[in-house]
Each structure stands twice: as structure tokens, then as C-alpha cells.
Amino acid sequence: HRNPGQIHVVQRLAPSEETLAFQCQLTALIGYDVTDVSNVHDDELEFTRRRLVTPRMAEVAGRDPKLYAMHPWVTSKPLPEYLLKKITNNYIFIVIHRSTTSQTIKVSADDTPGTILQSFFTKMAKKKSLMDIPESQNERDFVLRVCGRDEYLVGETPIKNFQWVRQCLKNGEEIHLVLDAPPDPALDEVRKEEWPLV
């Protein structure tokens, strides 16, 4: 049984400075002022918008909220030859950080983030306290996040197919990841102010 949607009717507030600045930026980027209602009499455009509402709602209702909150940036293209040469015997080194401690581990380029977390926790079984990991927690309570970025390595994709990992290999940089708690999808709330549909 699906919950019925809710429509909130609120008094329109005068646009804030932030709203106006954002709207100017959006207009400059797409070359079209979406707030100008004087030219929105395109029947085809309005028909298309209405037709897209149902599949869009179905997509939102059916998506995995956890995966959506972590949106992995992956590719399915085969690893280019010049990057394959930078991987020795199909193994790569990654540095996993937690609090002020870090641990370097060797993993297969074909390992998924879940496999990497499993082997990391197996290796650290006796040293959890050093990494500030409560004894009651295991690999299912954590995800791998790129250091300094809101980008996660999750899902059933081999680590070599994550764009960030390929970027590090290309530039000859170490792969630094943070052992982090996954973001809570319940906290991912939509702001009350809504922008017009583009």
C-alpha cells in the first residue's frame, strides 16, 4: 500500500539573496530563465513535463536510499593499458584512515569494497582499539570514503572501476580512504524551498 503524497500550501516569500544569486547562475548556465512565466506556453514542453512525473516518482520510490546517499562514481570501461602497467601482479596498495591512525593494505584490483572491508577487519581483529573501532562493530557498520571528499566506494564494483582509484593510479598518487559510518538517508531532507522545474 503506497502512502499518498502530501501537498503543502505556503505563502510565497520574497526571494532571498541566495535564491536570486542561484537563479542568475542557473540562467547563465542554461541560457534560459526558468522563472519567466511569460513564455511558458509551450504545450509540448508542458505535456512532456507531465509525462515525466510518473516515471520520476517511480524511480525515486524504487531507489535504494543508502546507495543513493553515497552515489558511487564508477565506470564499466576496461582499464586502459597504460593504467594496467601501473598495477603490479593485479595488486594495489590503499591507505585506510580512522581517527588519527592509518593502515596500508594490499588488495586485488578486482576486489569489491565489501571484500576489502572484510579483509581489513580480519587483519585488524586484534587491533580494533588502535583504530578507534568499538569491539561490537564489524565491516557491515562501515563504508570506505575518499579522503577529503563526499565520495564513497560502495557496491559490487571492483575497486579498479572506481573513477577516483583510476585517477590516483594515473597520477601515481597513493589511494587514501577513510573508514567511515555510512550517511543516514533519513537525514537527507529536502529543503522546503523548491526551485522551478527545468
Question: Considering the chain, what percentage of its residues have pLDDT values greater than 90?
Answer: 26
Largest separation between any pair of C-alpha atoms in the chain = 68
Predicted TM-score of the model (pTM): 0.65
List, by residue range, all CATH 3.10.20.90 domains of the chain. Answer: 81-180
CATH of segment(s) 81-180? 3.10.20.90
Q: Tens of pLDDT along 89-132?
A: 889 999 999 888 888 999 999 999 999 999 988 888 777 777 77
In the structure, what pLDDT confidence band is assigned to residue 198 with cuts at 50, 70 and 90? very low
What would you report as the CA-atom Rg of the chain, rounded to the nearest whole angstrom?
23
Q: Tens of pLDDT along 25-83?
A: 988 888 878 777 666 567 787 788 788 888 888 887 887 777 777 888 899 899 889 88
Given this model, what pLDDT does residue 191 score? Answer: 59
CA separation, residue 80 to residues 45, 77, 169 (Å)? 42, 8, 11
Task: With a cut of 70, say whether residue 133 has pLDDT above it.
Answer: yes
